[in-house]
Amino acid sequence: MRYFILLALIILKSAIVIAQSTLPPCIYAGLNNVAPPDEFRVSGVLRWGGDSSDFVVAGEDGSGSYIEKIASTPLKSKMRLQTSKSGDFTNYSLFVIDPNAGFSFLSLGNASANVGIGTTDTKGYKLAVAGSVIAESLKVKIQALWPDYVFAKDYHLPSIPEVEAFIKEHNHLPGIPSEAEVAKEGIDVGEMNKKLLQKVEELTLYIIQQQKAITELQAEMKQVQVVVNK
């Protein structure tokens, strides 16, 4: 009996040596695929983690490929993608998908928290988009004073001759960036709206001044007319 066991061990060892010497250096494995073209190929849906109510599933359907997180609680329903600069989880960027709160992009340490759409160079801005943006509503919250100070009693309203002289010299309104500046730097939407409102309020004051002057002239004309009619 011992001889048979020894002989079986020798045959098994020889088979392992032969297999190791004849198998290709790259092994291809497939699930539901008898001839996978890649090192690992799954034909169908891949599911992993958790239990029957908390898991991740990946696959392909009529709408395309997908990765879906199915969870029993809001906390477990979040998915995140993160990358660490140092491998010690002190400098990493984190992309979170939360069905309750939407998308968020965070950073820790010296990692970047900037987001680029259509570009990898955000020029230091939190969000950079290379292309057009459309929205149903846009709210800009500025930190500077809103130009109601134009209506303050101590506000210096430039005279019409002063404005005219500035336009002749610079070819644009005072306080408004020139065409060259806008072409080079672009415009800050909130800041530009503030400047435009300032000009509208100044124009309102000019109109009020002109209306007062017109009213005074009309009164004087009436007095002259009375004298002439006598």
Hey, which bits of 62-197 come out as E strands?
64-70, 79-84, 92-98, 102-108, 115-117, 127-129
| 167 and 129 within one domain | no
> Of the candidates 134, 157, 181, which is a domain's last residue?
134
Residue scoring higher pLDDT (81 or 33) = 81
- Specify the pLDDT at position 17: 44
Mean pLDDT of the chain: 80
Residue 34 lies in a domain: no
Residue 105 lies in a domain: yes
Residue 47 lies in a domain: no
Domains in the chain, number: 2
Confidence label for 18 from pLDDT (cuts 50, 70 and 90): very low
- pLDDT, tens only, 107-142: 777 667 788 888 888 888 888 999 999 999 988 887
Residue 176 lies in a domain: yes
Q: Which domain holds residue 85?
A: 78-134
| 158 and 112 within one domain | no
| 224 and 177 within one domain | yes
| 161 and 213 within one domain | yes
User: Alpha-carbon distance 128 to 115, whole Å?
Assistant: 6
| 177 and 204 within one domain | yes
The partner residues of 56 in beta bridges, in order of sequence, read 48, 69
- pLDDT, tens only, 141-165: 877 789 999 999 999 999 999 999 9
